[in-house]
Amino acid sequence: MTERQTYLLVDGENIDATLGTSILQRRPHPEERPRWNRVREFIEDEWEQPVTALFFLAIDGEVPLAFVQALLAMGYQPVMLRGAGKVVDLGIQRTAEALIERDGDVVLASHDVDFLPQMTALAEDEDRRVALMGFNEFIAGGLREIPGVEVWDMEHDVQAFDAPLPRMRVIDIEDFDPFEFL
């Protein structure tokens, strides 16, 4: 019998675009991007099982070799897709659909509502844990409403960044620390 595992599906373009456009309002510098090794390690610790980490990339020119090598070194499998349209979305949707027939838990790192049908179907399996990861305030409402799905904030829960991001957020009073504002 094989050990249960988690499948992490990373929509890198969506995370990067949200970070750049909605939070930083400019292209992120390398030191401002998520520490992807922390993301994988967080999930392994949280659910206490191995993670198969798939990082989906659209390739329309040269392969970003340095980034791909860095992903491999951190235990990710780059899934490099080429073609017309939203190839990353299509790749993640097809992978999520394939996982419906397979045992294992699933984490989607994206804010995109395009994955609602697949994530809903995955969450319908009562023996499967399903989570969303991103910036809480930007995760599509439809995804948040899927019963039983956990939501992890990349900055606050996962601590995937080396420095605080300039974000506006609503804070539960139980979590309020006035020293963050002083």
- pLDDT tens for residues 83-92? 999 999 999 9
- Across 109-124, average pLDDT: 97
| 9 membership: H or E segment, kind and range | strand 6-11
Query: Is the model's pLDDT at 135 over the cut of 90?
Result: yes
Superfamily name and number for 6-180: 5'-nuclease (3.40.50.1010)
In the block, residue with structure tokens 């990353």 = 88
Q: Report the candidate in 60, 45, 52, 64 with the shortest Cα–Cα distance to residue 6.
A: 52
For 36-47, the pLDDT digits (tens) are 999 999 999 999
Dihedral of CA atoms 149, 104, 37, 28 in degrees, nearest 10, equals -50
Q: Binning pLDDT at 50, 70 and 90, where does residue 76 land?
A: very high
User: What are the domain boundaries of the chain?
Assistant: 6-180
Q: Binning pLDDT at 50, 70 and 90, where does residue 2 land?
A: low
Percentage of the chain exceeding pLDDT 70: 99
> Is-above-0.85 flag for pTM?
yes
From 49-63, 106-120, 168-182, the region with the lowest mean pLDDT: 168-182
Query: Is the model's pLDDT at 65 over the cut of 60?
Result: yes
**Helix 87-100 vs helix 116-123: crossing angle, to nearest 10:** 20
User: What residues have CB less than 8 Å from 133, skipping those under 6 apart?
Assistant: 39, 107, 108, 109, 151, 152, 153, 154, 158
Query: Do the Cβ atoms of 12 and 56 come closer than 8 Å?
Result: yes
